[in-house]
Amino acid sequence: MASILGAGLMKVSSHWNMSIEDLAFEAAEQAMRDANTEKVDAIIVANAFSGVANGQENLAAHIASNLGMARKPSFKIELEGASGGAALVAACSLLNRYDRILLIGVEKLSDVTSLEDISSVVSSSINREHEGILGATVYSHHALMMREYMRRYKLEERDFGHFPIMMHENAINVPHAQLRFKVSMKEYIESPYVSTPLKLMDIPSEADGAAAIILSRSDGPVKVAGIGFSGNEAIITHRVDSLDLENVTSAFNMAMQEAGIGIKDLDFIQIHDTSSVLAYLQIESLGLSDKGKAARDTENGKFRRDGEIPINPEGGMKARGYPVGASGIYQLAESYMQLKGAADGYQIQGAKNCAVVSLGGLASSCIVAVLRR
Amino acid sequence: MYSWLSVPSYWRSRSRRYMLIGGKCNNCDYKFFPFRRTCPRCGSHLISEEKLPRKGRVLDYTVVHNPPRGYEYYTPYVIALVELENGAKVLTQLTDVDPEEVKEGMEVEMSLRILRVCGESGFIAYGYKFRPVVK
Ligand SMILES: [Zn+2]
């Protein structure tokens, strides 16, 4: 069984004076210090957009060299938002060969300075040849799902405000969060449309970030107790039902079964909230709410940090921030801190087990990891 | 770099894009677009090309306010998920319609249009868009 020996993370922000290698260095140093180690046997970099956003490939070799580890084996794993989750799956398998692996999630988006270019970069995750060419974006895909969800369950736009409001509330006490301020329902309603009915307040603002964990075969404070991984059609028109995230359900069940625990044993869950509607669909696919009821349960406080089953105690992608390819490693590093009791100011008291959901695309990939103290 | 559109990539998919040629599964009869050689529903490899009907209705739609590079000129524009008369789903831009007037269930038909003009090369990409059925 794999253990996490240490973790590090940077504040999610626009780090104008740092390169992608600098960001990776900072998080890696923190994680090595936390694990009290100076030596690792391999490096895995989780990143989504270095090729298109930074014009930088061969990324793992550059990051390893910058760390003074040019001789070590290094890999980059790319699966859009799920890059971090996928890196964990790969690392767990590679532990047969390497005893200690440094996982670094890093994303550098502030080099892309216009809204149109950012829209192009993040929309490289939808199918370029058949969807992107039409002028569709990753946001227009979220918007189509939101419209479908509203119609199917007879919801209004304001029903989607409860989730970002909760995420912003959670982020206030979190030093590494990007957006540490409250928002009101009025501000949500008045927020401009990105792609109707999807509002700016429904989605994260892409940013720079880096997080790292050290994974090992030997015993450590937090264990990877179970992993599940399942995919879904990557092109939206190929999905028989555009709201069916059955792969999230099956990845979750696989991970929970491997961990040998039930949903009542979980002290919190990290989900991949790249839009309010995708958050609701995950909540329902994980069995935390009935279909169409995630908004109501969110409004009633079920998922608050002091609620029945807390979701994203650090503010999630929405408010902690969304460094895309790094986000999965952020979720793991944050969970590690919660389980170790080191989440000062935003701690879930006595947390023992948690689940981390890492999504790529519009759930075209889903990795779930169950962590245990 | 960000607005990249390759001429060969456009060229190889043009006939299916101009003619709306999708896939039909000979095992479960699922019809889908864009074409590929495996069925998204049952996984069968028994797929034939199928010219799809040019008419359908709007399932879901969105008005895009933050376009990617190369589409600023058309903004705000409508992206819709259209269900064709034989059940296949197509992602498309809607044209010849005020975004305010688009409704779920609206009847639309295919029309060949300019998708975008590419910067310095001046290369013009054509493809399908859908417009309200004129009665
Ligand atoms: Zn089939």
Q: Which domain CATH number covers A77?
A: 3.40.47.10
Residue type, position A348, single letter: I
Q: How far is the CA of B7 from the centre of ligand 1 (A)?
A: 32
What pLDDT is recorded for position A272? 98
In a domain? residue A70: yes
Q: What is the pLDDT confidence band of residue A84, given thresholds at 50, 70 and 90?
A: very high
- Supply A256's token pair: 């929970």
Prediction pTM value: 0.97
Minimum CA–CA partner of B87 in chain A: A240
Which chain B residues touch A235 with a CB distance below 8 Å?
A: 34
| Residue that has been written with the tokens 């998919």 in this structure | B13
Minimum CA–CA partner of B7 in chain A: A129
**Which among A327, A231, A245 has a CA at the least distance from the CA of A278?**
A245
Q: What is the pLDDT confidence band of residue B2, given thresholds at 50, 70 and 90?
A: low
- In tens, the pLDDT along B48-102 reads 999 999 999 999 999 999 999 889 989 999 999 999 999 999 999 999 999 999 9
Q: Which domain holds residue A69?
A: 2-112+207-216
Number of domain units in chain A: 1
The predicted complex's ipTM stands at: 0.96
Which chain A residues touch B89 with a CB distance below 8 Å?
A: 237
Most B CBs within 10 Å, among A237, A246, A362, to test the B interface: A237
In a domain? residue A42: yes
User: Could you tell me whether strands A268-270 and A222-231 are parallel, antiparallel, or unpaired per DSSP bridges?
Assistant: unpaired
Cβ-defined contact of A116 to B72 (cutoff 8 Å): yes
The domain spans of chain B are: 1-52, 54-135
What pLDDT is recorded for position B1? 57
Cβ-defined contact of B66 to A115 (cutoff 8 Å): yes
A221 touches chain B (CB under 8 A): no
Protein residues near ligand 1, an ion, with CB under 5 A: B 25, 27-28, 30, 39, 41-42, 44
User: Could you tell me whether strands B21-25 and B31-32 are parallel, antiparallel, or unpaired per DSSP bridges?
Assistant: antiparallel
A128 touches chain B (CB under 8 A): yes
What pLDDT is recorded for position B130? 98
Residue A133: is its pLDDT beyond 70?
A: yes
In a domain? residue A77: yes
Neighbours of A293 (CB within 10 A): 16
Most A CBs within 10 Å, among B10, B39, B42, B64, to test the A interface: B64
Cβ-defined contact of B92 to A192 (cutoff 8 Å): no
| Over residues A145-174, mean pLDDT | 98
Mean per-residue pLDDT over chain B, rounded:
92
- State in words which class domain B54-135 has: mainly beta
Sign of dihedral through CA atoms A304, A310, A314, A317? negative
Mean per-residue pLDDT over chain A, rounded:
97
What pLDDT is recorded for position B7? 81
Neighbours of A332 (CB within 10 A): 32
In a domain? residue A73: yes
Which chain B residues touch A139 with a CB distance below 8 Å?
A: 64, 66
